[in-house]
Amino acid sequence: MTTIADVLIIGGGPTGLYASFYAGLRDLSVVLFEAQAELGGKINFYPEKMVWDVGALPPTKGKKVKEHLIEQAKLFDPTIYLKTKIIELTKEDDLFYAVDDQGRTHVGRTVLVCIGGGVVSPQKLPCFIHNNVDNYIHYQFPDQQAIQGKHLVISGGGDAAVDYAIEAASYGAKVSLCYRGEKLKAHEAQVKKMKAEGIQVLMNHTIDGVNQAETFNMVLRLKNSANQETIDFLCDHLLIQHGYDRDSALLDKVSFDLARHEDFYLNCEIPTKTSHPGVFAAGDIHYFKGKVNLLAGAFQDAAQAVNQIKHYLEPTSVPQAMVSSHNEKFSERNRQLLVNE
């Protein structure tokens, strides 16, 4: 027998995670899909950066904010699929059918689109990589304890690459940066700061292969793009910052019309309500006048979208959930927390 969810949430970033939690408050069953191998969305790109702009939350590392969001999202036992990309969305008899990239079909009474700027994947290193060094190749900033006292090579010449080079050096890593071009693309002030830190910069070099090494974790085959000469370069960790591929094909593969803003964002005359009944949007993917593109704004969007969904499904329902401080859903959990104080 096919299970029909109250809401299919597409996207497991901050918006989708908070929507999962708030939907539980509103007694809505949730199925959440995340195309990547882990939840968190854009926060995964800055795990060691401090987040300052969430109300009442002290400066907190991105990875810790993500942990809290995931824990909160799972509070009411949603069904969560990782490494699951929705590739087709159709509607029939007031039900939505979402087909994933593994051939499964999921059925929901409503859809909440929380895909941010689309499915974002880091551009991979296009060369031979020995299997035994996979754990030392990173596409997101590695844990600071893992690189402390180690040699980290960063491949890339943009703002992120240079910022990460400076940050890694502050954690006690020996840092080298290699870039294929003759001039770094990062802000000039940051480039000067990086050079002042004594960080080695290898211009006109690309990574042509990655192998195991005896004294270090890996040896990079670096190729000089100017004269085609190659050198072997030993290091412990490699951070790739070559940019990201963005996939928003889902919005072009729905069986109904969705009004767009700037040919991409979902245009919502009323915040979170798209042009098609039963389809809602929250976070960076949706546009309305006055939209706030912050984490705090994402949480507001998520709550508003869920309230709209609840009203769509049950027109006589109350406009919003009871505040958590007086909500009976938390009574037992509150008692447990008080006992453990």
Residues 154 and 74: their CA atoms lie apart, in Å, by 35
Q: How high is the pLDDT of residue 306?
A: 98
Q: How high is the pLDDT of residue 135?
A: 92
Q: How high is the pLDDT of residue 321?
A: 84
Residues 159 and 194: their CA atoms lie apart, in Å, by 11
The response to whether 49 counts as a known ligand-binding position is no
The response to whether 74 counts as a known ligand-binding position is no
Neighbours of 63 (CB within 10 A): 18
Residues 307 and 101: their CA atoms lie apart, in Å, by 30
Residues 10 and 76: their CA atoms lie apart, in Å, by 17
The response to whether 80 counts as a known ligand-binding position is no
Beta-bridge partners for 235: 218
Residues 155 and 201: their CA atoms lie apart, in Å, by 10
Cα angle: 321, vertex 310, 271; to 5 degrees: 90
Stated pTM of the model? 0.85
Beta-bridge partners for 220: 210, 233
The response to whether 61 counts as a known ligand-binding position is no
The response to whether 67 counts as a known ligand-binding position is no
Question: One-letter amino acid identity for 145?
Answer: Q
Question: One-letter amino acid identity for 157?
Answer: G
Q: Which residues of the chain have pLDDT under 50?
A: none
The response to whether 42 counts as a known ligand-binding position is yes
Q: Residue 76: phi, psi to the nearest 5?
A: -110, 25
Beta-bridge partners for 30: 7
Give all domains of the chain, ordered by start, each with its CATH number.
Answer: 4-121+245-339 (3.50.50.60), 124-242 (3.50.50.60)
The response to whether 81 counts as a known ligand-binding position is no
